[in-house]
Each structure stands twice: as structure tokens, then as C-alpha cells.
Amino acid sequence: MAMTMTQKILAEHAGLEEVSAGQLINARLDIVLGNDITTPVAINEFKKAGVERVFDRDKVAIVLDHFVPNKDIKSATQSKVCREFACEHCISHFYDVGKMGIEHALLPEQGVVTAGDCIIGADSHTCTYGALGAFSTGVGSTDMAAGMATGMAWFKVPSAIRFELVGALPSNCSGKDVILSIIGEIGVDGALYKSMEFTGEGVSSLSMDDRFCICNMAVEAGAKNGIFPVDQKTVEYMQGRSERTPKIFEADADAEYEKTIRIDLSKIVPTVACPHLPENTRPASELHGIKIDQVVIGSCTNGRLEDMETAYNVLKVRTVAQGVRCIIIPATMQILRECVERGWYTAFIDAGAVVSTPTCGPCLGGYMGILAEGERCVATTNRNFVGRMGHTASEVYLASPHTAAARAVAGYITEFKED
């Protein structure tokens, strides 16, 4: 029976020769992930079940990234619960202040996840790791607890939509513009509980950071996961990084897809998702004169090194507009260090921006950039729901790092023209 890439990974981890869409399976897990918000709930369920030990201390990852450094007593308490549990169970992959980063940038960077893995995470954007050719998906804290205890999780095997990518992106576009364009086309439920499988000759033109971004936002189309084939760029990224030997799976030539959507990358334009849904997309060139108060460049979607470089290239000879708060958040300590060593950190400050240690803070309206009533923010984050970054009467516009940095300079949403 012909299978998609996702189905092959799930079959392997379920110990089956083949699986089909809709089938219920119990699969072995390579990594179980949680953060400082979701892990304390999972720990509580873990203890209530009377479990004494995690199934494998090397296959549980706990990343403190949402409210770290802690913003208040409640977040400090949550982090303390995680620290004590990680110490008690000798968790190998525990990341705290000084070593932490935004989880979905940190785990690939550190080689904790790799090609062919089956991964669950108590965070909806766990689907990011499909960029490496892994099956990864978000779950609730109860499923995380079960995964930590047993090393297993049950799934309904998803059907798939194939996105055939052709051509190459224009220089002012990135993976963020690709995924926003796709979500704008199919809607926030257009891939509900399906696998978004990206194929075609255009894949080779996308960087790994582009692919991480695209898979990260697969969930914003309702997808169970997003996944890319493993090519030379993927192999080079994993080399000297992956702590396990990668296993490469390929979709069968006659694999069954619900449909195929062709995306000509050369026709992608800078795209903005307007309030209050990621599907509410428009070309940036069609948005004129919308005054903004804040710009955030960072998050698990767009806080990687290429994103920082893009922001630097816009800001190095420009200044943030009067009245605009520009917040730049490198996704990991390694990326932050690179920004310092390359002189980008200084350039950001000289341009009038502030730079934070890694945190998810503003993306979910947690801290480090809360919006007041009536304020507007252009962000490289992944969601722009009502009240997502603060007051319910604030607005969030999702965009690429290039578009966001340009808006910081202009002070309003308009098409950016290079000098």
C-alpha cells in the first residue's frame, strides 16, 4: 500500500508495515516536549497517576521559555515546579535561564530532534520539526504526562494535502510570506487534522529557516503536522548536530493525497495577515497609512538567525520611527551571541530598537510587549486573534521580518521601497 511521508514515519513507530488515513495507532515516541506553562500541568497528572519515573530521561525535553526570566510570582512558581521535576528525574534536556531558548528554535539547533523522529509537544507549534523530515505535533498536557510515563502516544493517522512548490522566492520574501499566502488561500481550517506535505523542485530554493517557519504555522491552517522531504540542505543542517542517527523517509510516488495545490514561489509577494485571523491576508502593497505603535521581531516562527539578519539589513542604515516601539527577540542564546559578535546587536540599538533575551513573552500577550487599548502591532509571530498580545481592542498584523522591520522604520503599514 502506498503511503505519504507522514504515514511512513507513523507506521515505523507503530511497528506496522503500513497504515492508512483514519487508522488509530499507538506509536513509540522519540521526544516528549513541554514548556514552563504546559509542563507543570503534565507533572501534576504524572504524579496523580502514581508514576515514579519518566520512560527515558534522554527523551523528555523541558524548555522554560514563555515567562523566563520569570515575570511574576506565578511564573516563578511554575518554573520552580519544572526545575524540581527535572532535577528529580535527571532530565537530560532541561533548558533554564542562560541555556534556554524558544523551544521550537532551540531543539533543532541543539540536535534534540532529527529526521524520522516521532515527536509530541505540549505546545501547538511543535509541528515546526517537520522541516527536518520528522513527524511532530502538538498535544495537551495530559498527553504529555502519558508520553513521559510510557514513551507512547496514540494517533489517528492523518490524510494529506500535497503542496507542490515551484520556482524561487523574490529577494524581499521569505517562508513567512509563503505560509501566510497558503493560509490566506485555504483558510484556518483548510487542512484540519491533515498533514501538509511540501514537495516539488521549489523546495531546494528554501532555506532551513524558511522551512521551519512554514512548518511552524501549519497548525494555523488546522493541520496535524507539516513536513518537508529531506534533501541536501537538511542533511547539512543535521550534520554534527543530531544526537541520534537521522532516518530518512520518502513518500511513495503513488501516495494518495486529498488534493494537490501548486505554489509558484516566484509569484509570492510580501504578505500581511490583518486582524483577527491568520487567514485574513493581503499583499503589504495594498495596505496604506495604517499607523502602528509596536513592532515585534522574534518568536518560534521568526526568531532565527536569518530573521535577525533580515532585520539588520533593514535597520543598519535606518532609524525606528518616532513613537514606534521595536522589540527584537533572538530565539536562542546562540543566535543572540551571533547577533552580538556580528555587530547586529549594536546596530539594533543604534536604530532605536530594544533587544531581549529569548522568550515567547509578547507573542501570547505574556510580557515584554503587551498592547494597550487601541494599539496596533506588526509582529513576526504566528497568531493575531482578538486580545492575542494584550487588550481585546488592540490589533496584531502578522508579517515577515523584512516587512516588520520596514514598518518599524515607516511607522505605518505601507509598501517598503529600498533606498
State the SS3 of 82-127: HHHHHHHCCCCEEECCCCCECHHHHHHHCCCCCCCCEEEECCHHHH
Would you report the helix, strand and coil content of the chain in percent, each value rounded to 5? 35, 20, 45
Do 191 and 288 have their domain in common?
no
CB 62 within 8 A of CB 84: no
Do 66 and 89 have their domain in common?
yes
pLDDT tens per residue across span 8-39: 999 999 999 999 999 999 999 999 999 999 99
- CA 366 – CA 253 distance, rounded (Å): 45
In a domain, 255, yes or no: yes
What pLDDT was estimated at residue 126? 98
In a domain, 25, yes or no: yes
Do 334 and 249 have their domain in common?
no
What CATH number does residue 216 fall under?
3.30.499.10
- CA 275 – CA 385 distance, rounded (Å): 7
DSSP element (H, E) containing 235: helix 232-238
- CA 303 – CA 287 distance, rounded (Å): 24
In a domain, 419, yes or no: no
Q: How far is CA 105 from the centre of its chain?
A: 7
In a domain, 174, yes or no: yes
CB 372 within 8 A of CB 394: yes
Name residues of the chain where pLDDT drops below 70: 414-419
Do 222 and 330 have their domain in common?
no
Do 101 and 250 have their domain in common?
yes
- CA 218 – CA 225 distance, rounded (Å): 6
CA distances from 108 to 14, 47, 62, 206 (A): 24, 29, 14, 17
Q: What are phi and psi of 296, to 5 degrees?
A: -120, 125
Smallest CA-to-CA distance from 60 within 83, 29, 37 is with: 29
Strand runs (DSSP E) across 45-186, as ranges?
60-63, 93-95, 118-121, 135-138, 152-156, 160-166
Do 127 and 254 have their domain in common?
yes
Residue where a domain stops, chosen among 264, 285, 302: 264
In a domain, 300, yes or no: yes
CB 34 within 8 A of CB 7: no
CA distances from 220 to 183, 189, 196, 248 (A): 7, 8, 11, 26
What pLDDT was estimated at residue 418? 46
Helices (H), 266-411: 299-302, 305-315, 333-341, 344-350, 401-410
CB 135 within 8 A of CB 118: yes
DSSP structural state of residue 18: -
3-state secondary structure of 343: coil
Residue 253: all three cell numbers together: 510516488
Smallest CA-to-CA distance from 155 within 163, 166, 146, 168 is with: 146
Do 241 and 279 have their domain in common?
no
What pLDDT was estimated at residue 285? 86
CA distances from 166 to 68, 169, 282 (A): 40, 9, 22
Residue where a domain stops, chosen among 229, 245, 264: 264
Do 230 and 327 have their domain in common?
no
In a domain, 113, yes or no: yes
Residue where a domain stops, chosen among 218, 245, 264: 264
What pLDDT was estimated at residue 419? 38
Do 286 and 328 have their domain in common?
yes
Do 256 and 113 have their domain in common?
yes
In a domain, 172, yes or no: yes
Q: Residue 34 forms beta bridges with which residues?
A: 62
Residue 315: all three cell numbers together: 535597520
Q: How many structural domains are present in the chain?
A: 2
Residue 243: all three cell numbers together: 544526537
CA 171, 308, 218, 128 dihedral sign is positive
Is the whole model's pTM more than 0.75, yes or no? yes
Kindly report the length of the chain. 419
Q: How far is CA 243 from the centre of its chain?
A: 21
DSSP element (H, E) containing 149: helix 141-150
Enclosing domain of residue 282:
271-413
What pLDDT was estimated at residue 414? 62
Residue 397: all three cell numbers together: 498584523
Residue 336, amino acid: L
3-state secondary structure of 14: helix
In a domain, 187, yes or no: yes
DSSP element (H, E) containing 325: strand 325-328
Sheet holding 118-121, edge to edge: 93-95, 60-63, 31-35, 118-121, 135-138
Query: Could you tell me whether strands 24-28 and 152-156 are parallel, antiparallel, or unpaired per DSSP bridges?
Result: antiparallel
Do 248 and 278 have their domain in common?
no
Do 175 and 109 have their domain in common?
yes
CA 337, 339, 341, 343 dihedral sign is negative
